[in-house]
Amino acid sequence: MSVIALLAQVLRIAVPYLFAAGGGVLAERSGIVSLGLEGFMLSGAFCAAVGDYYSGSAWVGLLCGILGGLLFGLLHAVATIRYRADQVVVGIAINLLVIGLTRFFLRLAFDSSSNSPRIAGFEGGGPLSGWLAGAGPMIPLGLLVIPAVAWLVYRTPFGLRLRAVGEHPAAADSLGVPVARVRYVAVALSGALAAMGGVYLALDQHQFTDQMTAGRGYIALAAIIFGRWNPLRAGVACLLFAGAETLQIQMQGTQAIPSQFVSMIPYLLTIVALAGVVGRANPPAALGKAE
Amino acid sequence: MSDLSNATPAPLGGAASGTPAVEMDGIVKTFGPVTANAGATLSVGAGEIHALVGENGAGKSTLMRVLGGGFAPDAGTVRVLGRDVTGWSTQDAIRAGVGIVHQHFMLVPTLTVAENVVLGSEPRRGLQLDGRRALDEVRALSERSGLRVPADRTVAELSVGEAQRVEILKTLYRGARILVLDEPTAVLSPPEVEELWTVLRRMRGEGATIVIITHKLDEVMAISDRITVMRHGRTVERLATADTTPTEIARAMVGRDVVLPSFTSDAVKAAGEGALQVRDLTVRDARGVTVVDSVSFDVAPGEILGIAGVEGNGQTELLEALAGLRAAVGGVVRIDGRDVGGTSVRRRADAGLSHIPEDRHRRGLILDYSVADNLVLGQQHHFARRGVMDRAAVARNAAEKVAAFDIRPPSAALPARALSGGNQQKIVIAREMGRDFRVLLAAQPTRGVDVGAIEFIHGQLREARAAGKAVLLVSADLQEVLALADRVAVMYGGRFVAVLPRAAASEEVLGRYMTGAQPRNDA
Ligand SMILES: Nc1ncnc2c1ncn2[C@@H]1O[C@H](COP(=O)(O)OP(=O)(O)OP(=O)(O)O)[C@@H](O)[C@H]1O
Ligand SMILES: [Mg+2]
Model confidence over B136-173: pLDDT tens digits? 999 999 999 889 999 999 998 887 788 889 999 999 99
A131 compared with B159, residue with greater pLDDT: B159
The pLDDT score that the predictor gives to residue A254 is 67
Is the pLDDT reported for residue B363 higher than 70? yes
The pLDDT score that the predictor gives to residue B263 is 58
Ligand 1 neighbours (beta carbon < 6 A): B 31, 34, 36, 54, 56-62, 103, 418-422, 450
CA-CA distance, B170 to A236, in Å (whole number)?
A: 36
Band (B478; pLDDT cuts 50, 70, 90): confident
**Domain boundary residue, one of B192, B221, B254:** B254
Q: What phi, psi does B9 have (nearest 5°)?
A: -70, 150
Band (B13; pLDDT cuts 50, 70, 90): very low
Pair (B209, B334) in one structural domain: no
Closest ligand to Cα B453: 1
Of all atoms in ligand 1, which is nearest to the CA of residue B424? 26
Q: Which domain holds residue B314?
A: 276-368+437-514
Residue extents of the structural domains in chain A: 16-214
Tens of pLDDT, residues A53-74: 999 999 999 999 999 999 999 9
Closest CA to B215 of B103, B111, B87: B103
User: What's the mean pLDDT in B81-95?
Assistant: 94
Q: Which residues surround ligand 2, an ion (CB under 5 A)?
A: B 61, 103
Check CB contact of B127 with chain A, cutoff 8 Å. yes
**What one-character-per-residue DSSP string does B235-266 give?**
EEEEEEGGG--HHHHHHHHHSS----------
Is the pLDDT reported for residue B98 higher than 60? yes
Residues in chain B with CB shorter than 8 Å from the CB of A172 are 108, 119-120
Average confidence score pLDDT of chain B: 87
Pair (B295, B338) in one structural domain: yes
| B119, part of any domain | yes
Distance B71 CA to ligand 2 centre (A): 14
Band (B261; pLDDT cuts 50, 70, 90): low
Ligand 1 pocket test, pick from B27, B29, B31 with the greatest ligand atom count within 8 Å of Cβ, gives B31
| B13, part of any domain | no
Nearest CB partner across the interface for B108, out of A157, A159, A171: A171
Is the pLDDT reported for residue A274 higher than 70? no
Pair (B182, B280) in one structural domain: no
* Residue B356, beta-bridge partner list: B442
H/E run at residue B83: strand B83-84
Considering its fold, how many domains does chain B have in total? 2
**Domain boundary residue, one of B220, B254, B288:** B254
Q: What is the CATH number of the domain that holds B185?
A: 3.40.50.300
| B399, part of any domain | no
Tens of pLDDT, residues B364-401: 899 889 999 999 998 888 898 888 989 999 999 999 99
Band (A128; pLDDT cuts 50, 70, 90): low
Is the pLDDT reported for residue B258 higher than 90? no
Contacts of A69 (CB under 8 A, 6+ apart): A40, A41, A43, A44, A47, A191, A192, A193, A194, A195, A196, A198
Pair (B194, B295) in one structural domain: no
Pair (B169, B248) in one structural domain: yes
| B428, part of any domain | no
Question: Is residue B103 within 8 Å of B85, Cβ to Cβ?
Answer: no
Check CB contact of B129 with chain A, cutoff 8 Å. yes
Residues in chain B with CB shorter than 8 Å from the CB of A283 are none
Least Cα separation, residue A5 to chain B (angstroms): 38
The pLDDT score that the predictor gives to residue B514 is 80
User: What's the mean pLDDT in A239-259?
Assistant: 79
Band (A255; pLDDT cuts 50, 70, 90): low
Pair (B129, B36) in one structural domain: yes
The pLDDT score that the predictor gives to residue A239 is 94
Q: Whose CA is nearest to atom 7 of ligand 1?
A: B418
Question: Is residue B66 within 8 Å of B73, Cβ to Cβ?
Answer: yes
Pair (B285, B230) in one structural domain: no
Contact B120 A155 (CB under 8 A): no
The pLDDT score that the predictor gives to residue B107 is 94
Question: Is residue A219 within 8 Å of A266, Cβ to Cβ?
Answer: yes
CA-CA distance, B129 to B423, in Å (whole number)?
A: 43
Is the pLDDT reported for residue B469 higher than 60? yes
Contact B108 A163 (CB under 8 A): yes
Ligand 1 pocket test, pick from B61, B370, B449 with the greatest ligand atom count within 8 Å of Cβ, gives B61
Least Cα separation, residue A159 to chain B (angstroms): 9
Check CB contact of B12 with chain A, cutoff 8 Å. no
B101, closest residue in chain A (CA to CA): A174
Cα B488 to Cα B100, B297, B417, B505, B523: the distances in Å are: 37, 11, 34, 7, 9
Nearest CB partner across the interface for B127, out of A156, A163, A177: A156
Closest ligand to Cα B52: 1
Distance A58 CA to ligand 2 centre (A): 60
Question: Is residue B483 within 8 Å of B262, Cβ to Cβ?
Answer: yes
Closest ligand to Cα B230: 1
Residues in chain A with CB shorter than 8 Å from the CB of B106 are 168, 170-171, 174-175
Tens of pLDDT, residues B417-448: 888 878 899 999 999 998 889 999 999 998 87
The pLDDT score that the predictor gives to residue B309 is 83
| B473, part of any domain | yes
Pair (B240, B363) in one structural domain: no
What is the number of residues in chain A?
Answer: 291
> Which residues between 83 and 122 in chain A have a beta carbon less than 8 angstroms from any beta carbon of chain B?
none
Tens of pLDDT, residues A164-189: 999 999 999 999 999 999 999 999 99
CA-CA distance, A37 to A193, in Å (whole number)?
A: 9
User: What's the mean pLDDT in A131-150?
Assistant: 85
| B301, part of any domain | yes
User: What's the mean pLDDT in B19-41?
Assistant: 93
What is the number of residues in chain B?
Answer: 523
The pLDDT score that the predictor gives to residue A71 is 97
Pair (B50, B161) in one structural domain: yes
Band (B17; pLDDT cuts 50, 70, 90): low
Question: A81: burial class by Cβ within 10 Å (0-12, 13-18, 19+)?
Answer: buried
Q: Whose CA is nearest to atom 1 of ligand 1?
A: B418
Q: Which residue type occupies A74? A: L
Residues in chain A with CB shorter than 8 Å from the CB of B109 are 167-168, 285
Pair (B83, B184) in one structural domain: yes
pTM: 0.81
Cα B158 to Cα B117, B201, B268, B359, B476: the distances in Å are: 14, 24, 42, 17, 18
Is the pLDDT reported for residue A126 higher than 60? no
Of the listed ranges A127-131, A173-177, A244-248, B101-105, the one predicted with least confidence: A127-131
Closest CA to A157 of B85, B426, B115, B169: B115
Q: What percent of chain A has pLDDT over 90?
A: 71
Check CB contact of B294 with chain A, cutoff 8 Å. no
CA-CA distance, B397 to B365, in Å (whole number)?
A: 17
Pair (B72, B208) in one structural domain: yes
The pLDDT score that the predictor gives to residue A247 is 81
Pair (B455, B509) in one structural domain: yes
Residues in chain A with CB shorter than 8 Å from the CB of B102 are 174
Of the listed ranges A150-154, A218-222, A278-282, B153-157, the one predicted with least confidence: A278-282
Nearest CB partner across the interface for A163, out of B68, B107, B111: B111
| B393, part of any domain | no
Least Cα separation, residue A285 to chain B (angstroms): 9
Residues in chain B with CB shorter than 8 Å from the CB of A157 are 122, 124, 129
Is the pLDDT reported for residue B506 higher than 80? yes
| B364, part of any domain | yes
